[in-house]
Structure 1
């Protein structure tokens, strides 16, 4: 039995070591080296390097290298590896997710159109940026409007637009999806599917900035009662059924506005931002191993939960040059279990426009939901990274605030106020 894993980072590769059988990693040229494990007891491990974004070259590799090995399955947990993994699995006739299903999850406009036919109650009002009449109707009846790349990831180039006249020419194409802004709180839902049966393994409540960049996750979600959780779980099941995702992991983002659940986006992988660590802490499920192991029938590894509630908090700072980095503090309401700061004095800090502009992260464990909310607020209020503005950096009022403007504990799920943000769209990357 051989599992092929496309584009694993070192953390995912370590999780794969827990699986039975042989492993074959396919990495991009120049990708970080994976940890050596010459003493692996479960089976052998190979690492091959190929540009799996180059379709013809990758399919030649599949035929020449993978096919003779008769692998059992091909999977990926990285966004840009999902479609190559699906293509390889289909070409080899082995277990994986169908390419058409993956495309429907990665193309946000395609997902909206599927839901329009099969589960319209999960959609906000939307339009393709390349359809002038639909754009005009959207702005006439729904403002503000969220503009996002059809294939974007990491909150990159997502902007809130108040008027159609504010929408620049480069957003008036089929590459942009426009959606009516949905109020309420946002949640990330981790699901493992098997034979069309969808099991929710964790739900995290998100905190975001005015530029839609995520700055915290809390699990279990403190603002979601049992009824709200049931509605969220049912909405995700309906979404996955509509898209035809029957097997494997998924990470779905939804907003809850009163009794209504609106799908923001979904992916056939687990969530990033340390969500797998929150699942492990609060449920005992090794989510990374489970998200890989489904393809080889490995089951769901589960140990004891070690925290009643847990959260990730991401560090941000105003743009400029780093002058100081604080050590991990002692929190009043929780315990820091992981801490990583990616900058040091002298490093530049860019405006907060996407997840890649965050400066570090902490994982917190707490005794209950109230303590977790307090711990997140406490840590968020501390200046972990201090910066000195540069003369060439835009003033702070022109860029996203370095603090969350949509706090993770801000108001009930029925809240509808949009986050404050600059009206001009973020640059398209």
Structure 2
């Protein structure tokens, strides 16, 4: 029987592995309760996920008693620890170098340059003056963002050189001393969702993003309605990038802007996408990538032939009320969907609750309550008011169904 160590489990991997016939050990943050997954595990271990050496120290004696087949994760917080543990325990899996080449956005750009993959002008900067110099060199809008972050946090669009000082002050206030500056790519955003198996990269779907003014995704549509003639090029560029960094296995999420010059890579991560994308894959293509991410490396399941599979469509839309205090919520009685109305919860737990809607065509989870304070959504971690998820004949039909239901619900706020 194979044995797997999972570094965090926010996509149900422990349950999938146990039901497929594997023994499971899960490492989790000390602040995250493990009671929901304990029944699927031989053991759960509380360790900070940003301490790879501590995780290795905890796993090594367990490995010596009963060897692990793999150390795996589907989460951003766990990718480095999983790679370090894989190397230290002498297992197959993603190398530290390949994981870092995607985790650090400047290293991703370097890999793209070396392999001539849809180049984007960029520079690592460490001062407001360097950022301003780069802006003047580009002669147009630029983006500056942390080199290692997630959820679109601390991303700044700078239109004019005199705006570089303010952007830099905000980055420094957030704790950053270096950042990645890039030319601003104009166009809609999509992502290629893949599963790699022994260095072969299988495209599961292409996902269309709906972004707010802070570049945070407040909606997804699958399959993308806007890919058009770019499908083959998007798949090719994704595979070339994952080959360039040497990704061996597991899920990845590669974001693109469809510019006038063609698709250009924004960034890529060796993990599952957030914001409910895994559930959209299941609804639109019948593929459970989180399950495959653990069962395939363990030899318990094969990748489905013919990916991406034909199917229907799926969409998710997040509630984005005006910032302020919630004073009224109207329209719930007019909603033709399965509805849950709960309190504001953490983002990760909110997304796990998508599984509650797995058997329904349209589901609504409204977290906002009268008296709650709605933040300005400047990162994915602030999408906490709820969402509508829908299936459809195709992506366009699913998006229409989700938006139709969302438009019936009014969350009224007052400034504070």
Shared fold per TM-score greater than 0.5: yes
Structure 1 position 71, deviation (Å)? 0.4
Contact 2:313/2:396 (<8 A) preserved: no
Is this contact kept in 2: 1:336–1:362, CA < 8 A? no
Aligned to 1:261: 263
Preserved CA contact (<8 Å) 1:125 1:138 = no
Secondary structure of the 1:296 match is coil
Distance 1:136 1:28 in 2: 41
Q: CA RMSD for the aligned pairs?
A: 2.6
1:387 and 2:413 aligned: yes
CA distance in 2, matches of 1:345, 1:66: 51
Quote the Cα distance in structure 2 between the aligned partners of 1:34 and 1:77: 19
Match of 2:190 among 187, 190, 206: 187
Partner of 2:342: none
Q: Distance in 2 between matches of 1:127 and 1:379?
A: 43
Q: Given that residues 75 and 295 in structure 1 are in contact (C-alpha distance below 8 angstroms), is that contact kept between their aligned partners in structure 2?
A: no
Sort the Cα spacing of 1:286 and 1:302 in 2 relative to 1 into closer, same or farther, 3 A: farther
Question: Larger deviation: 26-35 or 233-242?
Answer: 26-35
Q: CA–CA distance in 2 between the matches of 1:365 and 1:103? A: 36
What does residue range 226-245 of structure 1 map to in structure 2 within 5 Å? Answer: 227-245=229-247
CA shift, 1:165, in A, is 2.5
Shift of 1:353: 0.8
1:17 aligned counterpart, secondary structure: helix
Unaligned 5+ segments in structure 1 are: 391-429
> How far apart are the structure 2 equivalents of 1:188 and 1:164?
30
Q: 2: CA distance between counterparts of 1:242 and 1:93?
A: 23
Q: Does 2:100 correspond to 1:94?
A: no
Equivalent residue number for residue 352 of structure 1: 377
Q: In the alignment, which of 154, 157, 162 is matched to residue 159 of structure 2?
A: 162
- 1:15-71 CA deviation, whole Å, 9 max, x = no partner? 343332211111111203342575x6xxx6321212232344333213334443310
User: Is contact 1:290–1:298 with CA below 8 Å preserved after alignment?
Assistant: no
**Aligned partner of residue 20 in structure 2, secondary structure:** coil
Aligned to 2:324: 320
Pairs aligned (count) = 380
CA distance in structure 2 between the partners assigned to 1:137 and 1:147 by the alignment: 10
Alpha-carbon distance in structure 1 between the residues aligned to 2:27 and 2:381 = 24
Q: Tell me if structure 1 keeps the 8 A contact 2:111–2:241.
A: no
2:11 matches 1:14: no
Q: CA deviation at 1:338?
A: 2.7
Per the alignment, do residues 107 and 67 of structure 1 end up closer, same or farther by CA in structure 2, a change over 3 Å counting? farther
Asked whether the 8 Å contact 1:270–1:291 carries over to 2, the reply is no
Query: Which of 138, 141, 147 is equivalent to 1:141?
Result: 138
Output the CA distance in 2 between the equivalents of 1:78 and 1:369: 26
Equivalent residue number for residue 126 of structure 1: 122
TM-score between the two structures when normalised by the length of structure 1: 0.81
- Determine which of 290, 293, 313 is the counterpart of 2:292: 290
Between the aligned partners of 1:361 and 1:66, the Cα distance in structure 2 is 41
Q: Tell me the residue number matched to 1:197.
A: 200
- Give 1:210 deviation, angstroms: 1.0
Change (3 A) 1:162 1:247: same
CA spacing shift, 1:68–1:123, aligned 2, 3 Å = farther
Q: Any idea what the Cα deviations from partners look like across 1:108-166, whole Å, max 9, x if unmatched?
A: 011111111112x4232111122755751443324211111111110111111112331
Aligned-partner Cα distance in 2 for 1:195–1:167: 43
Q: Are the equivalent residues in 1 in contact too, given 2:336–2:405 (CA < 8 A)? A: no
Distance change in 2, residues 1:297/1:224 (3 Å): same
2:368 aligned with 1:343: yes
- Structure 2 unmatched runs, 5+: 338-359
SS of structure 2 residue aligned to 1:85: helix
Counterpart residue number, 2:216 = 213
Is 1:224 the counterpart of 2:224? The answer is no
Q: Deviations over 1:302-331 (max 9, x none)?
A: 69x896111011111111112234537238
How far did 1:195 drift?
2.5
Q: Match for 1:330 among 336, 342, 345?
A: 336
Distance 1:222 1:10 in 2: 26
